[in-house]
Amino acid sequence: MRKQIAAANWKMNLTLQQGEQLLDDILSKPHSLKDNQEAIFAIPAPYLSMAQSKLRNKEHVFVAAQNCYSKKSGAYTGEISVDMLSSLGVQYVVLGHSERREYFNESNSFLADKVNICLENNISPIFCCGEPLDIREANTQNEYVGKQLKESLYHLTEAQIRKIVIAYEPIWAIGTGKTATSEQAQEMHAFIRKNIELVYGASTANSISILYGGSVKAANAVEIFSQTDVDGGLVGGASLIADEFVAIINALK
């Protein structure tokens, strides 16, 4: 069975003290993670050491960075290297989030370089893909997302791509007042899996976890996660509320 993952993306939120309290609150609430389930916390870089210390001995719980740079080291002031992340024991990093693509102009080829350096250092990328509103309205979302996958991931070997977690973000349904249905989520997840299958085969495609990143909340998590090709969620705002995120963890298949 594929890994079922509840991934929290704190984005640029919370002070150190607030982050510590949130983790304590989540850990104190009833939740269970089966052998095929994981909870991942993608938190701001200054708090990675704190989170690693707090979560190190928790079963099926991991810390992720929200970003890294494409070079191993050097004169790149303000950037974070994979060596830095590895030295903290970080095992996941979010790459290609729609906000990074939009605000920081991260291209598919640049993200391919980031994917490469992460895998070379045994850090698993949570690779984000998804289409904006104009693409969805033109009904060209499959071509758009397919291009993201092709240009950032399809140079990888079969063994390498099996280490990737994919997160699909329907950008058009986040903060726009429009709503993506669970059926629309399943439709795109199935497309992504089929697209991978055409390149790497069914066995590999069926081994890769594909998370949904479209405003997952406690109220809709069970319905969304029940879809055949949805393997959990990359959760934004709801991950900042302990009761909400614990309910999302408990909604995993």
pLDDT for position 32: 84
Cβ–Cβ < 8 Å for 36, 1: yes
Where does residue 11 fall: left (phi above 0), alpha (psi -120 to 50 degrees), or beta otherwise? left
The pTM assigned to this predicted structure is 0.96
Cβ–Cβ < 8 Å for 218, 238: yes
Q: Which two tokens stand for residue 186?
A: 């399943």
pLDDT for position 14: 98
Residues 195-205 have pLDDT tens digits of 999 999 999 99
Query: In which band, very low, low, confident or very high, does the pLDDT at 141 lie, cut at 50, 70 and 90?
Result: very high
Helix (H) or strand (E) run with residue 78 in it: none
Please choose, from the candidates 76, 80, 192, the residue with its C-alpha nearest in 3D space to the C-alpha of residue 131.
Answer: 192
Domains and CATH numbers, the chain: 4-250 (3.20.20.70)
Residues 152-182 have pLDDT tens digits of 999 999 999 999 999 999 998 887 767 689 9
pLDDT for position 247: 97
E strand residue ranges, the chain: 4-9, 37-43, 61-65, 92-95, 124-129, 165-168, 210-212, 232-235
Catalytic residues: 97, 169
Query: In which band, very low, low, confident or very high, does the pLDDT at 251 lie, cut at 50, 70 and 90?
Result: very high
| Other CB atoms within 10 A of residue 103 CB | 9
Averaged pLDDT score across all residues of the chain = 96
Please compute the mean of the pLDDT values over residues 215-237 and round it to a whole number.
95
Cβ–Cβ < 8 Å for 165, 92: yes
How many CA within 13 A on the CB side of residue 195?
22
Please choose, from the candidates 168, 114, 180, 160, the residue with its C-alpha nearest in 3D space to the C-alpha of residue 144.
Answer: 168
